[in-house]
Structure 1
Amino acid sequence: MERPTSERSLLEPYARFRGEPLIALQELGLHFVGEGWRSYDDVVGREIFYSGFSENMRNMVMRQETLKRQITLLANKRVEVELLEGRLGPLGVDGEDAAHKLKRETRRAELETQLRQVAEDWTDKMICKMESRYFIRGAYYFATQLLTRAYHQGIHISTEEVLHLRKVAEEAAERKQSIIFLPCHRSHVDYVSLQLVCYRLGLALPTVVAGDNLNFPLVGSFLQHAGAMWIRRSFGDDHLYPTLVQAYMDTLLQNGHNVECFVEGGRSRTGKLLQPKFGILRFFLESVLSGRVEDAMICPVSTQYDKVIEVDSYVSELLGQPKQREDLRSFVSASNVLSLKLGRVDVRFFKPWSLRAFIDERMTRLERQPAAPGALPGETLRRRLLQTLGYEVLSNINEVSVVMPTALVGTVLLTLRGRGVGKSELVRRVEWLCDRVRARGGRVAHFAGNSTELVVDRAVEVLGPKIVGRVGGLAQDTFYAEDRFLLSFYRNQMIHLFISQALVCAAVYTKVKNGGTLDEQRITYQELEDYVFFLSQLFRAEFIFPTTPLEENLRSTVQGLEQDGVLQVIRNNTDDAQRITHVELHPHERTHGHENFDFYNFLLWPFTEAAWLGAVSLFMLVPPPQHHQHPSGTPAAESQWLNQQSVQDKAQLLGKTLFHQGDLAYYEAVNKEALKNTFTRSEEAGIIVVNRSGDSSTKSNSPARVRLDDEWMPSRDANGALRPEGKLWELCERIGLSRRGGLDWRDGDAVRGRILGLVDGLGAGLWEGGALLSADGRPSVSRRRRGIQTLSHL
């Protein structure tokens, strides 16, 4: 917990016109005339509010040498194509004559002019247009009114952090350098809150890199004049647009304008940090690496919420509902939520650091590492540098993040074996969890001197009865997780703090789960290390792991759990190095119901279930027995593919079915993001082969198609049923070692056969239906059907 003097609420709720009309009008007048800090006149950073700002920015972008060269290059390439196609007329007998050269140069100049016009039009639609100080004052007032109605406890910041940030901003302004704010992304409120913080602190507002899906009528124009720049979600094969974006980034950084973008790309639907998206980071890195920009300051930012406005829609999307397109109607309907009391927002700033210094230090280190086979040294170096930058920023965000009371309560409720928990026990476990967070170097939101009991009451109130249920009329009030899926969003906000402990306890659980004698529940240190490594690879796309080597991190994690009385370590007393030989449950844990050991396992079990579900669903890629086979008996998988999206949809249906039939313990395991991560990991491991290329002859966008690699192809028995054997089944079994057991644990040959039968049935539907694709990505006719079938494009 931070010291009381180190944190304060940045915004105070404005008076409401209905309740206090005179005070509300007075506050509005102060903003209109610009009294005190509201004037936003003495700003730290580059001047942005002046007439002609947008035109000046557009002209500077168009003057960038990189953009000019690309326009010339594209024009020349197009002229060469037209020459080959004969559009410029035939060449003379002796080659190109003067008249033909003139025609070619005229055509090239004409193409350059057209490309410049296109680039200028795109630039005008892309760039932010912060020209009116009066507009931004009104926007600040309007945004604060909305935000403080939704988050009635305001925006909280660390005094020390913002004072340091302001000092860095002053130094950067003297050097005409930019600050690149890189926040995490959980809500649309993220960029609003950061803009409000910068306004209130008197810092130059950053240009916010935003997806053009938000650029819809009325709202898009408002946001663009408030600081948003629009960028396509995908560049496709366009060779001009990426250069234009690079030219704009160069212009912003060369002139010391602050920038804000989200390192995760889109909003996290699960609550935890997503893997970094390197698209926009690549532009920043290229600006400095090329020497066009001397330096820029990187400032990772964490934004945490008691409750996220969009969390209900996130759950719908994760369960398979199509994402709703952003439009004015959805924006207005979302604003209805702003009358709710959603608690507070906490914004934390990591100490800004120099991008140039980062590049110099990491380049020296990376240059000593071997390059990937077949890759150009320069390309490999830049790719590694970009990846290192992305994960460094995420690590900084995790380090500075604050654990909110709702995350504490949600985590406790989801890590208990019982159906519910009494009030006193809930308070006790929240206090224990606070201590664990601080011991891990994390931060707990400041309680402002309130008791833990009061904090728990407020957190339960903010979450609401649809998420946390309460049973009254008992010996004591009892709380339970009403909606575990929704509550998992808040648990996931702090899971990064305990991921190492969770992996170790999951490995130990593989022995404890089966019971038996104390010796039988003991795991060797080598087995522990092997299984932790297996899980870390399994969840590589799920979590942001510590950057320390596995052996070092494992040793320190085991020692920490030993000190906490969770695990007991057995060492070789005859060895001077005191090597660890075995690990087992601590006697204290055995006598106290495994509550702390279970806590770490409960954190990981939903993700283990999702990984197991993803692995089992890959059996759907096995062709039915009636399919054509090679003489060797191996299915001809190399010539038949399935639509990857259809397979993932069926995998989600499989998960829902297994959950309701009792074979899957966690409903959140069926979320589509976890299944996507499973398919990504399977592709990286060579278990599946994914083909995303389109038909080059028609330039059509073919759907991604997938098949099992031949080495991972399971076999069938004499009756055509899938056999629970082979490399793929061994993977499922190994994941299943750490799946949650208990009184309702279901295993055995009968269960395996029933699950594989269900998977095979769903897979047969894919092979018979429209999900079957040929090697070129086009729909194929199932060989089980007779007669001529009409094909339809997917």
Structure 2
Amino acid sequence: MAQEDDPTRDSAPDLQILGDQITLQPRSYVEPAQQEKEEALMHHMARFRSEPLQFLREVSLYVSGTGWRAYDKVIGQPIFYSGFSEQMKNAVVSAPLLQDRIRQLADLRLEVEEKDGWLRKDDPDFEAKKAHRRSAIHQGLHEVADKLTSDMICKFESKTFIRGAYYLVTQLLTRAYHQGIHVSSEEVLRLRKVAEEAERKKQSIIFLPSHRSHVDYVSMQLICYRLGLALPVVVAGDNLNFPVVGAFLQHAGAMWIRRSFGNDSLYTTLVQTYIDTLLQNGYNFECFIEGGRSRTGKLLSPKFGILSFILDSLLSGRVEDAIICPVSTQYDKVIETEGYVTELLGVPKKKENLADFLSGGTSVLSLKLGRVDVRFHEPWSLRGYIDDQLKKFAAGSVPRDLSVRTPETVRIKQKLLRTMGYKVLSEINDVSVVMPTALIGTVLLTLRGRGVGKTELMRRVEWLSNRVRAKGGRVAHFGTAPLSDVVERGLDVLGKDLVGVVSGLAEPTYYAVDRFQLSFYRNMTIHLFISEALVSAAMYTRVKRGGGPAVQDIGYDDLRSQVLFLSSLFRGEFIFPADGLAANLEKTLVGLEHDRIIHLARDEGGNIITVGLSDEERTAGRENYDFYCFLIWPFIEASWLAATSLIGLTPPLNQKEDIWIELAKAQNSAQLFGKTLYHQGDLSYFEAVNKETLKNAYSRFEEEGILYVVKSKDAKTNPARLRISHDWMPSRDPATGDLVPTGRLWEFTEKIASSRREGKNRRDGATVSTRVLHLSDLLGKRLFEEATRGPDGAKRGGGAVVGGGGGEGEEGG
């Protein structure tokens, strides 16, 4: 087979660990025909019932620390020794940065007490009392800092504990993910070399993984332990710090932080000091670039909370350098997806507790969830990245001391954070592998009709696999296993709750049972095709008209305008290529032309004039073009739904003052609006009522100035509120009070709607301007009535809200 035709050329071979033996499969490795079973990174351990003697032998090996289990020859700084935690705590509380903050807070408290008359300057003993009070305040703050530090820091102490923890967790994980954890041998060897160099320079490796499951950080710790790398300290939200489990995780590497810091400057400085201490001493570190877990399957926008602390450590000069390593973790099936669906449909997230953890852990043991694939991007120097970025700023515009907080340094830091965050996300996407379940889910949700035969399903899965590779993506490596086995395996993992099969027909026919949950797996592939999807949706403004090329072809300027509009609309939803719109659009159009999906008409100068479907694509029933449309349509529906719900927030005619609506209630109302429209046939995709997608749409509307949103530091007592900007405010009929389908917001909504999927009830624009608007208005009136009445039902006076910018929690599960 020619190298360019090798379907596995983009997938590095797996590293296999069988018992005490590590086998690196070379790229040219061909699995023996008699052994088609895929070997996993984590070997299945013996079970007491089936293999009692082998089980007892394995336990004894871990207890005694035989071979690699001893965890002695570790690449990285020493951890797991008696006194480690106490030494770390002392280093944190004695750090100059924290001591300066404590002195500052003590002085501020003294000023308040002097102002309030607790300390009087005319008192003969004023200086002595002041000094005594300063000492007391100082001591009190020290005690608080000491307690907070002890609660926060990870407590690497005992190798015996970590050996037992590794054994226990591997037992649990390899039962749930029965095909184990897979990594790339090439990437692991590269990572080990980087780790050896980092150890020599006493530098930290900062792992920045994607975050879809609690298994993410578990799999990272298992891999590091098994490969002899120093375990990273993992940033975790204190919502997971509940009895028994919290202590276990803290001794295995978790550091606990609050979900929100508020105005607590002592706590903020404490977190900064702990991160400084870890990086100064070269301890490995791990935090999630997305903050919380993605409930939708695709990468979330970067969160800058912990990244900001890391960047401050280097910009201040307190840390010389650190190594950044983006990590992708992919699953055949994510344990939590069923819970994600209930959250995304509006059911509040349940607080973690021990009872649910134990019952959930028991049920997980019986699952067959396939495998976990972990991939490591090539690590890079954070100092080198910062220096390269600063060189791009105008000469003389970068202050010498970036640690001093000024408007200019804040602007520079924010730009560094943003570019770094999206760089990491892009690199995570670059190394991600597409699992069979993602291929199957994508195919089932991008085909017309109720179901698909097995032959057609396999054909489309193969087509999609080739398209993934052509776009520079990776498909999970399965040795010499035939496609039919891979598809069968994926269907088995997804299960009958997600994918149903109709038997007794000419051939088995598969259909999506739970489209909402299946969309989680479709979203794992969408980043590869987002450019093609946006171009196809822009073309659809003409394709939907039907007829031949004369009607359906779209002018290049019109196409570019709609692609630009949609790209801006989804700026916070997807990770776009960094080439810029013009270059990316040209590249995408040429690629679609090469694939014979579209044809491009050019003038004598070679400039594109019009774009339309190719004859080959029309003959094929538009199946490839439709694939790209089906990928993006649910998100277009969600944005259209959010914009239409916003029109209903137009104040009633008799409302003279500004009434602000609670943001969460407006979003909940939009979700109820969407569910109603779906069941009435005015919405094509139930995924459009996804809570996270609606939130993202509202955030984009705020960025565009369509909405005004005010937030406070304390979101519980003073929740965020919104109102429509006066420039975007729709109008009402002065006689009837009905909403009038005109104006800037209406035109914005119609521009979104022009790329929506057409349907039986959605062809007539009057449907939207009458029934849909009426329902939006009805729900909006309920929100206004609630906003103008107090908890006791009494009419409240005044509707203005005064609020300031608020800080939000960045990290956690």
- TM-score for both structures, normalised by structure 1: 0.93
Partner of 2:163: 137
The answer to whether the aligner puts 1:410 opposite 2:444 as a matched pair is: no
The answer to whether the aligner puts 1:485 opposite 2:516 as a matched pair is: yes
Output aligned runs, 1:570-581, within 5 Å: 570-573=601-604, 575=605, 578-581=606-609
- Structure 1 residue corresponding to 2:389, chosen from 358, 362, 387: 362
Residue 772 of structure 1: how far off its partner (Å): 3.9
> Which whole-Å deviations, capped at 9, do the CAs of 1:127-180 have from their partners, x for residues lacking one?
111100000000000000000000000000000000000010001000110000
The answer to whether the aligner puts 1:221 opposite 2:247 as a matched pair is: yes
Partner of 2:226: 200
Quick one: structure 1 residues 782 and 566, their matched pair in 2 at CA, closer, same or farther if it must change by over 3 Å? farther
Partner of 2:732: 716
Residue 110 of structure 1: how far off its partner (Å): 1.4
Residue 375 of structure 1: how far off its partner (Å): 8.1
- Supply the distance in 2 between the matched residues of 1:773 and 1:367 (Cα, whole angstroms): 54
- Supply the distance in 1 between the matched residues of 2:217 and 2:502 (Cα, whole angstroms): 39
Output aligned runs, 1:373-522, within 5 Å: 376-522=407-553
Residue 721 of structure 1: how far off its partner (Å): 1.1
Structure 2 unmatched runs, 5+: 1-6, 16-39, 399-404, 799-813
- Supply the distance in 2 between the matched residues of 1:170 and 1:251 (Cα, whole angstroms): 20
- Structure 1 residue corresponding to 2:766, chosen from 746, 749, 770: 749
| Kept in 2: contact 1:640–1:773 (CA 8 A) | no
Aligned residues: 759
Partner of 2:297: 271
Output aligned runs, 1:684-723, within 5 Å: 684-693=703-712, 701-717=717-733, 718-723=735-740
> Which whole-Å deviations, capped at 9, do the CAs of 1:702-726 have from their partners, x for residues lacking one?
1211111111111112211111111
Residue 368 of structure 1: how far off its partner (Å): 6.0
Residue 569 of structure 1: how far off its partner (Å): 0.5
- Look up the SS of the partner of 2:392 in the other structure: helix
Residue 640 of structure 1 aligns to which amino acid in structure 2? I
Residue 332 of structure 1: how far off its partner (Å): 1.2
| Kept in 2: contact 1:129–1:224 (CA 8 A) | yes
Partner of 2:150: 124
Residue 333 of structure 1: how far off its partner (Å): 2.2
| Kept in 2: contact 1:705–1:773 (CA 8 A) | no
- Look up the SS of the partner of 1:47 in the other structure: coil
- Supply the distance in 2 between the matched residues of 1:624 and 1:544 (Cα, whole angstroms): 39
- Structure 2 residue corresponding to 1:325, chosen from 342, 351, 375: 351
Output aligned runs, 1:220-239, within 5 Å: 220-239=246-265
Between the aligned residues of both structures, percent identity stands at 59
- Supply the distance in 1 between the matched residues of 2:396 and 2:637 (Cα, whole angstroms): 37
- Supply the distance in 2 between the matched residues of 1:98 and 1:559 (Cα, whole angstroms): 86
Partner of 1:768: 785
- Supply the distance in 1 between the matched residues of 2:115 and 2:595 (Cα, whole angstroms): 75
- Supply the distance in 2 between the matched residues of 1:748 and 1:498 (Cα, whole angstroms): 30
- Look up the SS of the partner of 1:240 in the other structure: helix
- Supply the distance in 1 between the matched residues of 2:712 and 2:384 (Cα, whole angstroms): 39
Residue 768 of structure 1 aligns to which amino acid in structure 2? E
- Look up the SS of the partner of 1:366 in the other structure: coil
Partner of 1:670: 689
The answer to whether the aligner puts 1:155 opposite 2:181 as a matched pair is: yes
The answer to whether the aligner puts 1:526 opposite 2:557 as a matched pair is: yes
- Structure 1 residue corresponding to 2:340, chosen from 309, 314, 318: 314
- Structure 2 residue corresponding to 1:781, chosen from 783, 789, 795: 795
| Kept in 2: contact 1:702–1:778 (CA 8 A) | no
Partner of 1:728: 745
Residue 65 of structure 1 aligns to which amino acid in structure 2? P
Partner of 1:617: 645
- Supply the distance in 2 between the matched residues of 1:383 and 1:296 (Cα, whole angstroms): 19
- Supply the distance in 2 between the matched residues of 1:275 and 1:144 (Cα, whole angstroms): 31
> Which whole-Å deviations, capped at 9, do the CAs of 1:640-659 have from their partners, x for residues lacking one?
11111111111100000000
- Structure 2 residue corresponding to 1:188, chosen from 191, 211, 214: 214
Residue 688 of structure 1: how far off its partner (Å): 1.0
Partner of 1:548: 579
Residue 687 of structure 2 aligns to which amino acid in structure 1? E
- Supply the distance in 2 between the matched residues of 1:56 and 1:778 (Cα, whole angstroms): 55
- Supply the distance in 2 between the matched residues of 1:479 and 1:707 (Cα, whole angstroms): 46
| Kept in 2: contact 1:152–1:342 (CA 8 A) | yes
- Look up the SS of the partner of 2:262 in the other structure: coil
> Which whole-Å deviations, capped at 9, do the CAs of 1:471-525 have from their partners, x for residues lacking one?
0100011011111001000010111000011011111111101113412211111
- Look up the SS of the partner of 1:339 in the other structure: coil
Partner of 2:100: 69
- Structure 1 residue corresponding to 2:52, chosen from 8, 18, 21: 21
- Supply the distance in 2 between the matched residues of 1:751 and 1:351 (Cα, whole angstroms): 50
Residue 347 of structure 1 aligns to which amino acid in structure 2? V
> Which whole-Å deviations, capped at 9, do the CAs of 1:276-325 have from their partners, x for residues lacking one?
11000011111111111110000000000000000000000000001010
- Structure 1 residue corresponding to 2:272, chosen from 240, 246, 258: 246
- Supply the distance in 2 between the matched residues of 1:779 and 1:275 (Cα, whole angstroms): 40
- Supply the distance in 2 between the matched residues of 1:59 and 1:477 (Cα, whole angstroms): 66
Over the aligned positions, Cα root-mean-square deviation in angstroms equals 2.0
- Look up the SS of the partner of 2:206 in the other structure: strand
- Look up the SS of the partner of 2:132 in the other structure: helix
Partner of 1:649: 668
- Look up the SS of the partner of 2:119 in the other structure: coil
> Which whole-Å deviations, capped at 9, do the CAs of 1:717-749 have from their partners, x for residues lacking one?
221111111111111100000100145544231
The answer to whether the aligner puts 1:260 opposite 2:276 as a matched pair is: no
- Look up the SS of the partner of 1:230 in the other structure: strand
Partner of 1:632: none
Which deviates the most, 744-753 or 106-115? 744-753
| Kept in 1: contact 2:13–2:477 (CA 8 A) | no
- Supply the distance in 2 between the matched residues of 1:15 and 1:134 (Cα, whole angstroms): 20
Quick one: structure 1 residues 751 and 2, their matched pair in 2 at CA, closer, same or farther if it must change by over 3 Å? same
- Supply the distance in 2 between the matched residues of 1:773 and 1:442 (Cα, whole angstroms): 54
Higher relative contact order (CA 8 A, sep 6+): 2
| Kept in 2: contact 1:620–1:647 (CA 8 A) | no
Partner of 2:27: none
Partner of 1:683: 702
| Kept in 1: contact 2:649–2:781 (CA 8 A) | no
- Structure 1 residue corresponding to 2:371, chosen from 338, 344, 351: 344
| Kept in 2: contact 1:407–1:490 (CA 8 A) | yes
> Which whole-Å deviations, capped at 9, do the CAs of 1:235-280 have from their partners, x for residues lacking one?
0110100100010001000111000110101000000000111000
- Supply the distance in 1 between the matched residues of 2:470 and 2:496 (Cα, whole angstroms): 32
| Kept in 1: contact 2:231–2:253 (CA 8 A) | yes
Residue 349 of structure 1: how far off its partner (Å): 0.2
- TM-score for both structures, normalised by structure 2: 0.91
